[in-house]
Structure 1
Protein backbone atom coordinates (compact mmCIF):
# COMPACT_ATOMS: atom_id res chain seq x y z
CA UNK A 1 0.00 0.00 0.00
CA UNK A 2 1.47 3.32 -1.03
CA UNK A 3 0.88 6.45 0.94
CA UNK A 4 0.13 9.57 -1.05
CA UNK A 5 1.27 12.89 0.20
CA UNK A 6 -0.87 15.83 -0.53
CA UNK A 7 0.80 18.98 -1.77
CA UNK A 8 0.11 21.95 0.49
CA UNK A 9 -2.34 24.38 -1.05
CA UNK A 10 -0.55 27.32 -2.63
CA UNK A 11 -1.79 30.59 -1.11
CA UNK A 12 -1.67 33.46 -3.60
CA UNK A 13 0.36 36.53 -2.68
CA UNK A 14 -2.25 39.25 -2.21
CA UNK A 15 0.21 42.07 -1.44
CA UNK A 16 1.66 43.63 -4.59
CA UNK A 17 5.22 44.96 -4.38
CA UNK A 18 3.94 48.52 -4.95
CA UNK A 19 1.73 48.28 -1.86
CA UNK A 20 4.42 46.63 0.28
CA UNK A 21 6.81 49.46 -0.62
CA UNK A 22 4.42 51.92 1.06
CA UNK A 23 5.09 50.60 4.58
CA UNK A 24 6.55 53.50 6.56
CA UNK A 25 5.45 56.09 3.99
CA UNK A 26 3.05 58.97 4.51
CA UNK A 27 0.19 58.10 2.16
CA UNK A 28 -2.28 60.85 3.01
CA UNK A 29 -2.07 64.39 4.29
CA UNK A 30 -4.95 66.83 4.50
CA UNK A 31 -5.85 70.01 6.37
CA UNK A 32 -9.14 71.62 7.18
CA UNK A 33 -10.65 74.35 9.27
CA UNK A 34 -12.82 73.40 12.23
CA UNK A 35 -16.09 75.32 11.78
CA UNK A 36 -18.74 75.54 14.49
CA UNK A 37 -21.78 75.22 12.21
CA UNK A 38 -20.27 72.23 10.39
CA UNK A 39 -19.45 70.29 13.59
CA UNK A 40 -22.86 71.13 15.05
CA UNK A 41 -24.59 69.79 11.93
CA UNK A 42 -22.40 66.70 12.08
CA UNK A 43 -23.17 66.21 15.79
CA UNK A 44 -26.92 66.43 15.18
CA UNK A 45 -26.68 64.01 12.23
CA UNK A 46 -24.89 61.35 14.31
CA UNK A 47 -26.95 61.88 17.48
CA UNK A 48 -24.23 63.63 19.51
CA UNK A 49 -26.09 65.98 21.84
CA UNK A 50 -23.36 66.85 24.34
CA UNK A 51 -23.89 70.50 25.39
CA UNK A 52 -20.12 71.11 25.09
CA UNK A 53 -20.69 71.20 21.33
CA UNK A 54 -23.66 73.60 21.43
CA UNK A 55 -23.96 75.65 24.64
CA UNK A 56 -21.34 78.35 25.32
CA UNK A 57 -22.36 78.79 28.98
CA UNK A 58 -22.09 75.04 29.56
CA UNK A 59 -18.68 74.92 27.85
CA UNK A 60 -17.43 77.87 29.96
CA UNK A 61 -18.68 76.18 33.14
CA UNK A 62 -16.44 73.25 32.17
CA UNK A 63 -13.29 75.33 31.64
CA UNK A 64 -13.50 76.18 27.94
CA UNK A 65 -13.61 79.65 26.39
CA UNK A 66 -16.43 78.61 24.04
CA UNK A 67 -18.08 75.50 22.62
CA UNK A 68 -15.70 72.84 21.30
CA UNK A 69 -15.86 70.35 18.46
CA UNK A 70 -16.67 66.69 19.11
CA UNK A 71 -13.37 64.78 18.97
CA UNK A 72 -14.58 62.28 16.35
CA UNK A 73 -15.47 65.15 14.02
CA UNK A 74 -11.77 65.79 13.29
CA UNK A 75 -11.48 63.41 10.36
CA UNK A 76 -14.50 65.02 8.69
CA UNK A 77 -13.01 68.48 9.10
CA UNK A 78 -9.94 67.52 7.10
CA UNK A 79 -11.16 65.08 4.43
CA UNK A 80 -13.55 67.19 2.43
CA UNK A 81 -16.23 65.88 0.09
CA UNK A 82 -15.90 63.43 -2.80
CA UNK A 83 -18.57 63.40 -5.54
CA UNK A 84 -20.47 60.11 -5.65
CA UNK A 85 -19.30 59.32 -9.18
CA UNK A 86 -15.66 59.45 -8.01
CA UNK A 87 -16.04 56.97 -5.15
CA UNK A 88 -14.31 53.61 -5.49
CA UNK A 89 -16.27 50.37 -5.85
CA UNK A 90 -15.95 49.85 -2.08
CA UNK A 91 -17.72 53.19 -1.44
CA UNK A 92 -14.73 55.14 -0.14
CA UNK A 93 -12.79 57.97 -1.73
CA UNK A 94 -9.37 56.50 -1.03
CA UNK A 95 -8.33 59.91 0.32
CA UNK A 96 -7.39 58.62 3.74
CA UNK A 97 -5.94 55.27 2.64
CA UNK A 98 -3.45 56.57 0.13
CA UNK A 99 -5.08 54.63 -2.71
CA UNK A 100 -3.33 51.40 -1.75
CA UNK A 101 -4.27 48.86 -4.40
CA UNK A 102 -4.82 45.15 -3.83
CA UNK A 103 -6.06 43.91 -7.22
CA UNK A 104 -6.37 40.31 -6.02
CA UNK A 105 -8.15 41.38 -2.81
CA UNK A 106 -10.65 44.05 -3.89
CA UNK A 107 -13.24 43.53 -1.14
CA UNK A 108 -12.49 45.90 1.75
CA UNK A 109 -13.87 46.36 5.21
CA UNK A 110 -12.95 48.26 8.32
CA UNK A 111 -10.75 46.33 10.70
CA UNK A 112 -10.99 48.65 13.70
CA UNK A 113 -9.76 51.95 15.05
CA UNK A 114 -8.27 53.11 18.31
CA UNK A 115 -7.98 56.85 18.89
CA UNK A 116 -6.37 58.85 21.68
CA UNK A 117 -7.55 62.45 22.02
CA UNK A 118 -5.13 64.93 23.56
CA UNK A 119 -7.06 68.20 23.30
CA UNK A 120 -10.28 69.69 21.98
CA UNK A 121 -10.47 71.96 18.95
CA UNK A 122 -12.60 75.05 18.64
CA UNK A 123 -14.00 77.25 15.90
CA UNK A 124 -11.25 78.46 13.56
CA UNK A 125 -8.64 75.87 14.49
CA UNK A 126 -6.90 74.36 11.47
CA UNK A 127 -6.26 70.64 11.80
CA UNK A 128 -3.77 68.69 9.71
CA UNK A 129 -4.01 64.92 9.39
CA UNK A 130 -0.99 62.84 8.43
CA UNK A 131 -1.48 59.13 7.78
CA UNK A 132 1.44 56.70 7.55
CA UNK A 133 1.28 53.01 6.63
CA UNK A 134 2.43 51.11 9.70
CA UNK A 135 2.14 47.58 8.32
CA UNK A 136 0.73 45.45 5.52
CA UNK A 137 0.50 41.76 6.37
CA UNK A 138 -1.09 38.85 4.57
CA UNK A 139 -2.85 36.45 6.95
CA UNK A 140 -4.85 33.27 6.72
CA UNK A 141 -8.33 33.35 8.24
CA UNK A 142 -11.04 30.69 8.61
CA UNK A 143 -12.55 31.74 5.28
CA UNK A 144 -9.26 32.15 3.43
CA UNK A 145 -6.40 34.58 2.97
CA UNK A 146 -6.72 38.32 3.59
CA UNK A 147 -4.56 41.42 3.85
CA UNK A 148 -4.45 43.44 7.07
CA UNK A 149 -3.34 47.05 6.60
CA UNK A 150 -2.61 49.23 9.64
CA UNK A 151 -2.20 53.01 9.50
CA UNK A 152 -0.95 55.43 12.15
CA UNK A 153 -2.58 58.85 11.92
CA UNK A 154 -1.73 62.06 13.74
CA UNK A 155 -3.83 65.20 13.93
CA UNK A 156 -2.09 68.48 14.78
CA UNK A 157 -3.40 72.02 15.00
CA UNK A 158 -2.12 75.27 13.52
CA UNK A 159 0.31 75.61 16.46
CA UNK A 160 1.70 72.13 15.61
CA UNK A 161 0.23 70.79 18.86
CA UNK A 162 -0.86 67.16 18.87
CA UNK A 163 -4.66 66.96 18.94
CA UNK A 164 -5.20 63.22 18.43
CA UNK A 165 -3.52 59.98 17.34
CA UNK A 166 -5.23 57.00 15.76
CA UNK A 167 -4.34 53.47 14.75
CA UNK A 168 -6.69 52.22 12.05
CA UNK A 169 -6.85 48.90 10.25
CA UNK A 170 -8.48 47.67 7.09
CA UNK A 171 -9.06 44.15 5.79
CA UNK A 172 -8.86 43.37 2.07
CA UNK A 173 -10.16 40.03 0.80
CA UNK A 174 -10.22 38.29 -2.59
Structure 2
Protein backbone atom coordinates (compact mmCIF):
# COMPACT_ATOMS: atom_id res chain seq x y z
CA UNK A 1 0.00 0.00 0.00
CA UNK A 2 1.37 3.41 -0.95
CA UNK A 3 1.47 6.43 1.34
CA UNK A 4 -1.27 8.03 -0.78
CA UNK A 5 -3.50 5.00 -0.19
CA UNK A 6 -2.85 5.03 3.55
CA UNK A 7 -3.81 8.71 3.75
CA UNK A 8 -7.33 8.02 2.41
CA UNK A 9 -8.19 5.74 5.35
CA UNK A 10 -7.23 7.47 8.60
CA UNK A 11 -6.36 5.25 11.57
CA UNK A 12 -9.43 6.45 13.47
CA UNK A 13 -11.70 5.25 10.65
CA UNK A 14 -9.86 1.95 10.19
CA UNK A 15 -10.20 1.27 13.92
CA UNK A 16 -13.99 1.25 13.57
CA UNK A 17 -14.09 -1.93 11.48
CA UNK A 18 -16.24 -4.36 13.45
CA UNK A 19 -17.65 -1.61 15.68
CA UNK A 20 -21.32 -1.01 16.34
CA UNK A 21 -21.78 2.51 14.93
CA UNK A 22 -25.53 3.06 15.09
CA UNK A 23 -28.65 1.76 16.79
CA UNK A 24 -32.20 2.98 16.51
CA UNK A 25 -35.64 1.69 17.42
CA UNK A 26 -39.00 2.50 15.88
CA UNK A 27 -42.64 1.49 15.97
CA UNK A 28 -44.30 -0.18 13.00
CA UNK A 29 -47.68 1.52 12.64
CA UNK A 30 -50.37 0.68 10.07
CA UNK A 31 -51.34 4.28 9.32
CA UNK A 32 -47.71 5.30 8.84
CA UNK A 33 -46.77 2.39 6.53
CA UNK A 34 -49.92 2.91 4.48
CA UNK A 35 -49.05 6.60 4.02
CA UNK A 36 -45.48 5.60 3.12
CA UNK A 37 -46.71 3.00 0.60
CA UNK A 38 -49.03 5.50 -1.09
CA UNK A 39 -46.23 8.10 -1.23
CA UNK A 40 -43.87 5.67 -2.99
CA UNK A 41 -46.60 4.29 -5.27
CA UNK A 42 -46.72 0.79 -3.75
CA UNK A 43 -50.39 -0.27 -3.80
CA UNK A 44 -49.81 -3.93 -2.86
CA UNK A 45 -53.04 -5.15 -1.22
CA UNK A 46 -51.01 -6.93 1.49
CA UNK A 47 -50.41 -3.47 2.98
CA UNK A 48 -54.05 -2.28 2.77
CA UNK A 49 -56.62 -5.08 2.44
CA UNK A 50 -57.19 -7.29 5.50
CA UNK A 51 -59.14 -9.93 3.58
CA UNK A 52 -56.43 -10.18 0.94
CA UNK A 53 -53.74 -10.49 3.61
CA UNK A 54 -55.73 -13.22 5.39
CA UNK A 55 -56.15 -15.10 2.10
CA UNK A 56 -52.34 -15.06 1.86
CA UNK A 57 -51.98 -16.59 5.33
CA UNK A 58 -51.48 -13.46 7.48
CA UNK A 59 -53.61 -12.48 10.46
CA UNK A 60 -53.85 -8.87 9.28
CA UNK A 61 -52.28 -6.46 6.80
CA UNK A 62 -48.50 -6.31 6.99
CA UNK A 63 -45.94 -3.56 6.51
CA UNK A 64 -43.97 -3.22 3.25
CA UNK A 65 -40.46 -4.59 3.83
CA UNK A 66 -38.73 -1.43 2.62
CA UNK A 67 -40.70 0.59 5.17
CA UNK A 68 -38.47 -0.78 7.97
CA UNK A 69 -35.75 1.83 7.59
CA UNK A 70 -38.31 4.64 7.63
CA UNK A 71 -40.00 3.15 10.72
CA UNK A 72 -36.67 3.14 12.53
CA UNK A 73 -35.12 6.40 11.28
CA UNK A 74 -38.09 8.54 10.29
CA UNK A 75 -37.69 11.53 7.99
CA UNK A 76 -34.71 13.88 8.01
CA UNK A 77 -35.53 17.54 7.33
CA UNK A 78 -33.91 18.72 4.10
CA UNK A 79 -32.04 21.55 5.79
CA UNK A 80 -30.24 19.09 8.08
CA UNK A 81 -28.97 16.73 5.37
CA UNK A 82 -25.21 16.50 4.85
CA UNK A 83 -23.61 17.78 1.67
CA UNK A 84 -23.74 14.24 0.24
CA UNK A 85 -27.55 14.20 0.64
CA UNK A 86 -27.66 11.70 3.50
CA UNK A 87 -28.64 12.21 7.11
CA UNK A 88 -25.48 10.53 8.38
CA UNK A 89 -27.67 8.93 11.04
CA UNK A 90 -26.50 5.40 10.42
CA UNK A 91 -22.99 5.77 9.06
CA UNK A 92 -21.19 6.26 12.34
CA UNK A 93 -18.57 8.90 12.89
CA UNK A 94 -16.40 7.96 9.91
CA UNK A 95 -14.27 10.80 8.61
CA UNK A 96 -12.21 10.67 5.44
CA UNK A 97 -10.65 14.15 5.21
CA UNK A 98 -8.73 13.26 2.05
CA UNK A 99 -11.79 11.65 0.43
CA UNK A 100 -14.71 13.99 1.23
CA UNK A 101 -16.91 13.25 -1.80
CA UNK A 102 -19.46 10.55 -0.99
CA UNK A 103 -21.85 8.45 -3.01
CA UNK A 104 -23.89 5.33 -2.47
CA UNK A 105 -22.10 2.15 -3.45
CA UNK A 106 -25.02 -0.26 -3.26
CA UNK A 107 -27.33 -2.10 -0.92
CA UNK A 108 -28.49 -5.68 -0.62
CA UNK A 109 -31.24 -6.59 1.83
CA UNK A 110 -32.59 -9.99 2.84
CA UNK A 111 -36.06 -9.93 4.40
CA UNK A 112 -36.81 -12.81 6.74
CA UNK A 113 -40.35 -11.95 7.80
CA UNK A 114 -43.00 -9.27 7.61
CA UNK A 115 -43.83 -6.91 10.45
CA UNK A 116 -47.31 -5.97 11.55
CA UNK A 117 -48.99 -3.13 13.38
CA UNK A 118 -47.48 -2.63 16.82
CA UNK A 119 -44.18 -4.37 16.18
CA UNK A 120 -41.12 -2.57 17.49
CA UNK A 121 -38.05 -2.84 15.27
CA UNK A 122 -34.47 -2.23 16.37
CA UNK A 123 -31.70 -1.61 13.89
CA UNK A 124 -28.03 -2.25 14.66
CA UNK A 125 -25.35 -1.23 12.17
CA UNK A 126 -21.70 -2.32 12.25
CA UNK A 127 -18.80 -1.35 10.04
CA UNK A 128 -17.98 -4.52 8.15
CA UNK A 129 -15.02 -3.26 6.14
CA UNK A 130 -13.14 -0.18 4.98
CA UNK A 131 -11.04 -0.87 1.93
CA UNK A 132 -8.87 1.38 -0.21
CA UNK A 133 -9.30 0.62 -3.92
CA UNK A 134 -7.99 1.93 -7.19
CA UNK A 135 -10.56 2.82 -9.83
CA UNK A 136 -10.22 4.02 -13.43
CA UNK A 137 -10.37 7.62 -12.25
CA UNK A 138 -8.19 7.20 -9.19
CA UNK A 139 -8.24 5.93 -5.63
CA UNK A 140 -11.35 5.65 -3.51
CA UNK A 141 -12.49 4.19 -0.21
CA UNK A 142 -15.21 1.55 -0.11
CA UNK A 143 -17.00 1.36 3.25
CA UNK A 144 -19.36 -1.55 3.90
CA UNK A 145 -21.85 -1.77 6.77
CA UNK A 146 -23.87 -4.75 7.95
CA UNK A 147 -27.24 -3.92 9.45
CA UNK A 148 -29.67 -6.16 11.29
CA UNK A 149 -33.30 -5.44 12.07
CA UNK A 150 -34.91 -7.38 14.93
CA UNK A 151 -38.35 -7.14 16.47
CA UNK A 152 -39.50 -6.89 20.08
CA UNK A 153 -39.23 -10.70 20.39
CA UNK A 154 -35.58 -10.48 19.26
CA UNK A 155 -36.50 -12.26 16.02
CA UNK A 156 -34.50 -11.35 12.92
CA UNK A 157 -36.70 -9.37 10.52
CA UNK A 158 -34.11 -8.32 7.93
CA UNK A 159 -30.39 -7.90 7.34
CA UNK A 160 -28.69 -5.57 4.93
CA UNK A 161 -25.25 -4.94 3.52
CA UNK A 162 -24.76 -1.33 2.44
CA UNK A 163 -21.74 0.34 0.91
CA UNK A 164 -20.52 3.87 0.38
CA UNK A 165 -17.78 5.24 -1.83
CA UNK A 166 -15.61 8.12 -0.61
CA UNK A 167 -13.44 9.88 -3.19
CA UNK A 168 -10.81 12.60 -3.03
TM bin (shorter chain): over 0.9
Aligned counterparts of 2:143 and 2:65: Cα–Cα separation in 1: 24
Runs of 4+ in 1 over 2 A off after TM superposition: 1-5, 80-86
Deviations 1:120-158 (A, max 9, x none): 000110000000000000100000100000001000000
Aligned counterparts of 1:4 and 1:106: Cα–Cα separation in 2: 15
Shift of 1:3: 26
Which sections of structure 2, spanning at least 5 residues, go unmatched? Answer: none
| Equivalent of 1:129 in 98, 123, 130 | 123
Aligned counterparts of 1:38 and 1:27: Cα–Cα separation in 2: 27
RMSD: 4.5
**2:141 aligned counterpart, secondary structure:** strand
Q: TM-score, normalised by structure 2?
A: 0.93
Which sections of structure 1, spanning at least 5 residues, go unmatched? Answer: 6-12
Structure 1 residues 131 and 3: alpha-carbon distance in aligned structure 2, compared to 1, 3 A threshold: closer
Aligned counterparts of 1:2 and 1:70: Cα–Cα separation in 2: 46
Aligned to 2:146: 152
Aligned counterparts of 1:17 and 1:98: Cα–Cα separation in 2: 15
Aligned counterparts of 2:23 and 2:4: Cα–Cα separation in 1: 55
Structure 2 residue 87 is the aligned partner of structure 1 residue 93: yes
Structure 1 residues 65 and 132: alpha-carbon distance in aligned structure 2, compared to 1, 3 A threshold: same
Structure 1 residues 144 and 63: alpha-carbon distance in aligned structure 2, compared to 1, 3 A threshold: same
Q: TM-score, normalised by structure 1?
A: 0.90
Structure 1 residues 139 and 3: alpha-carbon distance in aligned structure 2, compared to 1, 3 A threshold: closer
Structure 1 residues 68 and 103: alpha-carbon distance in aligned structure 2, compared to 1, 3 A threshold: same
Deviations 1:80-115 (A, max 9, x none): 233333221111111111131111111111111111
Q: Which has the higher helix share?
A: 2
**More deviation in 76-85 or 47-56?**
76-85
